[in-house]
Structure 1
Amino acid sequence: MNKIDIRTVNVTQYIQPLREGGSLPAIVKADDGFLYVLKFRGAGQGKKALISEFIGGELARAMNLKVPELVFMNLDDSFSKTEPDEEIQDLLKFSVGLNLGLHFLSSAITYDPLVSEVDALTASKVVILDSLISNIDRTAKNTNLLNWNKELWIIDNGASFYFHHNWETWENHLTRTFPLIKDHVLLPKATSLTEALSEIKQLVNVDVIQEIVQNIPEDWLLSEGDFFNSNEMRAAYIAFLNAKLLMIDELVKEAADAR
């Protein structure tokens, strides 16, 4: 198993907001000279969306899917002071500290189910990934996928793990399947579910899940009014993913039936 090694960089320049995302992510430059799409901790779903993004992205990478490099990004308080737009100014102010960045794929285009190409195995793996992480937001209306260099790249998993918005009832989700997979944008092209399933079973196990969850920054797990402490939250994410892994055959059958 590859050890996860997430770099931490500092934001040096705020370039422009990406207004197509509901949470106003932005293109920024970091002190390593690269451009990133910055997901803000101060946005709507807060740090929980960053946790979903991180776990979903690294799980996709473990499945040999294409994901831009994820980095932790330090944002200091100087940017909000020079920003004229009040909405962005507030977002920057509430996002001081550690955020999440995705390497910016220059000239990538949004995946369009009508014209974009994707091979059946890749489509099938993405469908299974999203069943495992209960990602409700990879639909024809909002694909959250990019085509770059003739390959499919996964860029947005922030709407996954919706159990963590109410920790008091999280255990109710352990045995649930994912009927919303019927709306998945790649489901019509996911004709290699059996092959994808056997590959994922070889690539993803309890150790992979633990390694990913242990790399969530401690700071992201601390929220006022949360039911759990950070260790209990880590244990819950691991338990949830392990439960889904144990029922992966059922999840794949559900997707196949929905096709």
Structure 2
Amino acid sequence: MSKFFTWLFTYEHIFTLLTVLLSGLISWIISAIYFRKSNRNALRLNVLFPMRRIISEPRSWKNYKLLEDTSKEHDSKYLTKKERTALTTFLSSYKSVCSYSYSSVSAESLFSYFCYKLEKNGINTKPVPIEIDDEIVDYDTPSELMYLRDDLSKIIEERPYEIDEDGSTTDIIKTLFEAYCKEYFSNKRIDYFDDFSLEEVLKKSRVRNEWDQKLSAYKLAEKTFLGLKVFETN
């Protein structure tokens, strides 16, 4: 046995052993690099590049669903921790703004202003009781007011406030407010836009500010995600 160890640890055999071990290690490293490169290419082709194409299209709930489904593809497991964090943040931001449109946000701002003016003039904007098991638990606005939002959205689409030089858009919205107020709340005369102009309502409303913040967060998340080095093919 001692002769065997003496033979094993001679210089020539140590060199041979180290050569074999080094050769195996090099082969393992080459294989690991090859498989990592292959996995990362699959990640790009099957997950990231399809997502980038979807992002280039107009935002919508349909595209959000496509992005979410694509992000769950098998090859997404090859994302690094940093990349997954960027992807998760981006998807969350996309979801929060995918239903955004200029006209719908403007309509919501105007609707909020309408309710504000009614309440300032002593009119209860939530006269409809909400009942659960024959017990009133809260109050809400008349359900018909959903059509007011639709009407306002159509007006803004057809007549953006930027071209309201003669005040005609403001007058149309005033007439609409008066009709809805008379139909569902009160005959009381209210002076709309005497405190804030149409432009001020659309630019400075709480609804607009909230959407502006969401859009800013989305743009940053999109830039961070698409700026990841993994999108680079070289």
The alignment's TM-score, normalised by the length of structure 2, stands at 0.27
Greater strand share, structure number: 1
The alignment's TM-score, normalised by the length of structure 1, stands at 0.25
Greater helix share, structure number: 2
Computing the radius of gyration from Cα coordinates, the structure with the larger value is: 2
